[in-house]
C-alpha cells in the first residue's frame, strides 16, 4: 500500500469537506460510488464510511483516460483542489454538497468485479444475498450508520458505568455446562477426551463470584451463546451489557439503570428520557396486555368482560366460562369504519393461537350493533359500553377461551391493529419496569418445578415462608425493563445464602450429586462471606435495533447468523477433517470427506 500511495496521504475523509476547505489541497481515499461521464467533463463520487465527495475531471487527457477506467467499487486515491460548486449544482442531500474536488491525480489502488447488488442505490436486496456478500452489504450507508451507532452505544455504556464506579472485567468463554434454560453450545476438549466445555449462555456464576471476590461493581460487554430456535430479534451468539453490584437494593439498581439508558439515548439519539420509569407487576401486565412485555405506545388494554358475559344468553360465552375460561375485549378507537372482511382477517389471526372466534360490536348513533347484541339486555349493553370506555365510532373485539390463549391472541391482535391503523406515534419511547415475576413454574412434561428465570434468583423475602407450602405463589425479586414491546433487559436480587441456595436446588429436584458436579464450587464459595448482591443484563443488539428503527436484529450485527444459525458468508457450520475428530476422540454418525485434507 505504501508503494501504491507513494507521496499521497489522506488529508480529509470523503464526508469531511466543507466550504471552509475551499482552495485547500485534498487527498481522498475510498471506493468509487458512481461515475457520470458527460463528455467534456466526468464526475466521480467517491465514498468512505464518513460520506461521499464529488470529484471533477476536466480536459486533462491522462486524467480523463484514468477516469474512463473506473468502475463501481474500485478503490482509488484522488488528489486535487477543493472548489465551491456552482449554485445550480449544489447537492443539499449530502454534507459535502456545496464543494467538490478538481482532480489533479487519480490512482487506482484496487479493481473490483461487478458486485451482485448496487452499493450506491441502496436497492432492495434479499437477506440471503446480503448475508452471502456481507463484506459488500457492510459498505452500504445504512449498515455503516448502524454499526457506527452500535460503537457509540458501547462507548456511552462504558463512560456511564465507569462514572458509577463499575470495573469492566472479562469472564471466560470456555466454561462449564449448567442448566440455564436453553441448550448449551459444547466444545470438546482434546486434552481431556470425552469431556466438554460449554460456551456461556451468560456470565451469571462468574459475575456472582466476582461479588464474592469483593469486586463490588462489575460490568462487561459480554458475548453469550444459546443453542435455541431463532426469531427476527434473536441470534445464537449475542451481546449483553452485563453488570452486577454488591450492597444495593433493587430500587438503587433501577435508578442506576435508568440513568444508563438515559445516557445511551441522549448520546446516541439526542433524546431526553423522562424518569423514573413506571412500574407494573407481572400479574397486571398479563391481565391488562396479555404479555409481560407490553407495548405502551398506544391504548387498547385487555378488559375482562366475564361478569357481563355471564349474565348474557350467548351460549359460546357461557360454555367457555363453564370450562374455566375467560372473556376479554379490546376497544379499537375509530374502528367502527373497519369492514367485515378486515374483522374476518382479525378472526383468522386469533385462530392461530387457539381462540375459536372473535365476536365484535360497533357503537353507532343508535347504540351497539352486531349479530350478538340480541343475547344481551339493554342494561348489559350499557354496562359493556361503560366498561370498555367506548365512544361513537369505536369497535369492540371480544375473545373467549382459556386464559393463556386469550391473552396471547389479544396481545398479537392489539399490536397488529396498532400497526395496520397507524396508531403508534413515531419516535415514541415507552419504558416500563415489570416486577413481581413468579419465582417458579410447573413443567408438566418433567413433572417438576423449574425456575422462571434462573435458580440463583432470590425469592421475595416476604414470600420465603411459601417455599414449602405453596411454591408457585412465591414471587421473585426479579425485574425486566421493557421498551416499546421489547424486553431489553432483565435482572434480579441474587441468593447470597448457601442454605437458601441449596433449598432452591432441592425444590427444583436437583439430585445432591448433580448439585455437587454442576454447582459445588459455587455453593462452597457462598459459604465464605457473600455480600448481598444483585445484577442485570441488557440485550445490546436489541437496544441498537430499537435505536436504528429496524425490526431485524441482523441489521445491527456485523456478521450475524441466519434464522437457521448459519453463516452464509463463511459457509458454516461445516464438516471438519477426520484427523481433527480423531484428535478429539470423536465420531460422527456420518463422515464427510473433505477433498483438500
Residues 542, 13: Cα–Cα separation, whole Å: 30
Model confidence pLDDT, tens digit, residues 424-476: 998 999 999 999 999 999 999 889 999 999 999 999 999 999 999 999 999 99
User: 495 preceded by cis ω (within 30°)?
Assistant: no
The confidence band for 98, taking pLDDT boundaries of 50, 70 and 90, is very high
Residues 541, 551: Cα–Cα separation, whole Å: 11
The confidence band for 593, taking pLDDT boundaries of 50, 70 and 90, is low
Assign 3-state DSSP to the chain and report helix, strand, coil percentages, each to 5. Answer: 35, 25, 40
* Residue 375 predicted with pLDDT over 70: yes
CA atoms in the 13 A half-sphere facing the CB of 327: 24
Q: What is the mean predicted confidence (pLDDT) over 271-284?
A: 97
Going from the C-alpha of 538 to that of each of 220, 261, 473, the distances in angstroms are 11, 10, 27
Start-end of CATH 2.40.50.140 domains in the chain: 2-110
Cell of 87: 449554485
* Residue 596 predicted with pLDDT over 60: no
Cell of 515: 448439585
Question: Which pLDDT does position 170 carry in this prediction?
Answer: 98
The confidence band for 268, taking pLDDT boundaries of 50, 70 and 90, is very high
Model confidence pLDDT, tens digit, residues 490-499: 999 999 999 9
Q: Residue 208: name the closest of 455, 495, 477, 454 by CA.
A: 495
* Residue 310 predicted with pLDDT over 60: yes
User: 573 preceded by cis ω (within 30°)?
Assistant: yes
Looking at 95-211, which runs of residues are DSSP E strands?
Answer: 99-110, 167-168, 186-188, 196-198
Task: Report the CATH number of the 2-110 domain.
Answer: 2.40.50.140
- Out of 120-124, 136-140, 315-319, 363-367, least confident range: 120-124
pTM of the model: 0.92
* Residue 14 predicted with pLDDT over 90: yes
Q: What is the DSSP letter of 593?
A: P
Question: Which pLDDT does position 592 carry in this prediction?
Answer: 58
Question: Which pLDDT does position 476 carry in this prediction?
Answer: 98
- The pLDDT mean for the chain works out to 94
Start-end of CATH 3.30.1360.30 domains in the chain: 298-424
Question: Which pLDDT does position 74 carry in this prediction?
Answer: 97
Q: What is the mean predicted confidence (pLDDT) over 203-230?
A: 95
CB-based contacts of 357, cutoff 8 Å, min separation 6: 316, 347, 350, 351, 400
Q: What is the DSSP letter of 457?
A: B
* CATH superfamily of domain region 298-424: GAD-like domain (3.30.1360.30)
Query: For 162, phi and psi rounded to 5 degrees?
Result: -60, -40
The confidence band for 229, taking pLDDT boundaries of 50, 70 and 90, is confident
Question: Which pLDDT does position 61 carry in this prediction?
Answer: 87
DSSP run (H or E) holding 26: strand 25-37
The confidence band for 28, taking pLDDT boundaries of 50, 70 and 90, is very high
Q: CA end-to-end span of the chain, whole Å?
A: 34
CB-based contacts of 503, cutoff 8 Å, min separation 6: 467
* Residue 578 predicted with pLDDT over 60: yes
The confidence band for 234, taking pLDDT boundaries of 50, 70 and 90, is confident
Q: What percentage of the chain carries pLDDT values higher than 90? A: 90
Amino acid at each position: 500500500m505504501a508503494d501504491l500511495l507513494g507521496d499521497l496521504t489522506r488529508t480529509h475523509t470523503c464526508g469531511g469537506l466543507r466550504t471552509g476547505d475551499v482552495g485547500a489541497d485534498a487527498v481522498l481515499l475510498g471506493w468509487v460510488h458512481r461515475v457520470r461521464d458527460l463528455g467534456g467533463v466526468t464526475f466521480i463520487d467517491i465514498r468512505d464510511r464518513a460520506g461521499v465527495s464529488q470529484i471533477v475531471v476536466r480536459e486533462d487527457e491522462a486524467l480523463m483516460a484514468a477516469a474512463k477506467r473506473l468502475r463501481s467499487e474500485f478503490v482509488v486515491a484522488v488528489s486535487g483542489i477543493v472548489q465551491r460548486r456552482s449554485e445550480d449544482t449544489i447537492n443539499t442531500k449530502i454534507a459535502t454538497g456545496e464543494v467538490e474536488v478538481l482532480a489533479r491525480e487519480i490512482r487506482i489502488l484496487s479493481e473490483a468485479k461487478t458486485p451482485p447488488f448496487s452499493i450506491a442505490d441502496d436497492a432492495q436486496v434479499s437477506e440471503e444475498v446480503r448475508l452471502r456478500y456481507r463484506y459488500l452489504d457492510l459498505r452500504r450507508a445504512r449498515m455503516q450508520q448502524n454499526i457506527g451507532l452500535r460503537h457509540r452505544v458501547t462507548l456511552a455504556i462504558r463512560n456511564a458505568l465507569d462514572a458509577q464506579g463499575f470495573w469492566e472485567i472479562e469472564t471466560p468463554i470456555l466454561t462449564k455446562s449448567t442448566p440455564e434454560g436453553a441448550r448449551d453450545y459444547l466444545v470438546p476438549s482434546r486434552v481431556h477426551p470425552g469431556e466438554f466445555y460449554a460456551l456461556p449462555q451468560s456470565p451469571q456464576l462468574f459475575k456472582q463470584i466476582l461479588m464474592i471476590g469483593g469486586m463490588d461493581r462489575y460490568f462487561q460487554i459480554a458475548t453469550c451463546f444459546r443453542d435455541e430456535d431463532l426469531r427476527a430479534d434473536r441470534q445464537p451468539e449475542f451481546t449483553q451489557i452485563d453488570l452486577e453490584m454488591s450492597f444495593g437494593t433493587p430500587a438503587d439498581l433501577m435508578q442506576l439503570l435508568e440513568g444508563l439508558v438515559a445516557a445511551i439515548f441522549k448520546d446516541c439519539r439526542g433524546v431526553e428520557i423522562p424518569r423514573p420509569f413506571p412500574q407494573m407487576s407481572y400479574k397486571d401486565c398479563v391481565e391488562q396486555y396479555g404479555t409481560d412485555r407490553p407495548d405502551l405506545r398506544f391504548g387498547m388494554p385487555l378488559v375482562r368482560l366475564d361478569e357481563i358475559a355471564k349474565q348474557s344468553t350467548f351460549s359460546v360465552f357461557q360454555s367457555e366460562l363453564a370450562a374455566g375460561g375467560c372473556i376479554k375485549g379490546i376497544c379499537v378507537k375509530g374502528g367502527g369504519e373497519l369492514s367485515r372482511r378486515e374483522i374476518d382477517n382479525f378472526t383468522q389471526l386469533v385462530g392461530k393461537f387457539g381462540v375459536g372466534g372473535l365476536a365484535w360490536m360497533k357503537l353507532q348513533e343508535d347504540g351497539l350493533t352486531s349479530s350478538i347484541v340480541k343475547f344481551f339486555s339493554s342494561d348489559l349493553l350499557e354496562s359493556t359500553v361503560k366498561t370498555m370506555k367506548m365512544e361513537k365510532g369505536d369497535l369492540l373485539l371480544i375473545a373467549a377461551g382459556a386464559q393463556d390463549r386469550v391473552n396471547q391472541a389479544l396481545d398479537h391482535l392489539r399490536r397488529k391493529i396498532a400497526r395496520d391503523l397507524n396508531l403508534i406515534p413515531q419516535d415514541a419511547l415507552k419504558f416500563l419496569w415489570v416486577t413481581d415475576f413468579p419465582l417458579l413454574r410447573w413443567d408438566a412434561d418433567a413433572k417438576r418445578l423449574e425456575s422462571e428465570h434462573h435458580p440463583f434468583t432470590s425469592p421475595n423475602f416476604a414470600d420465603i415462608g411459601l417455599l414449602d407450602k405453596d411454591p408457585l405463589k412465591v414471587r421473585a425479586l426479579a425485574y425486566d425493563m421493557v421498551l416499546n414491546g421489547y424486553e431489553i433487559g432483565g435482572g434480579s436480587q441474587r441468593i447470597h445464602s448457601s442454605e437458601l441456595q441449596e433449598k432452591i436446588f432441592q425444590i427444583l429436584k436437583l439430585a445432591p450429586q448433580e448439585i455437587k458436579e454442576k454447582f459445588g464450587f459455587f455453593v462452597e464459595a457462598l459459604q465464605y462471606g457473600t455480600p448481598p448482591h444483585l445484577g442485570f443484563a441488557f440485550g445490546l443488539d436489541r437496544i441498537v435495533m430499537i435505536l436504528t428503527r429496524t425490526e431485524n436484529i441482523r441489521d445491527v450485527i456485523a456478521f450475524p447468523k441466519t434464522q437457521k444459525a448459519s453463516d452464509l458468508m463463511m459457509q458454516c457450520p461445516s464438516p471438519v477433517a477426520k484427523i481433527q475428530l480423531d484428535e478429539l476422540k470423536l465420531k460422527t454418525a456420518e463422515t464427510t470427506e473433505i477433498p483438500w485434507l
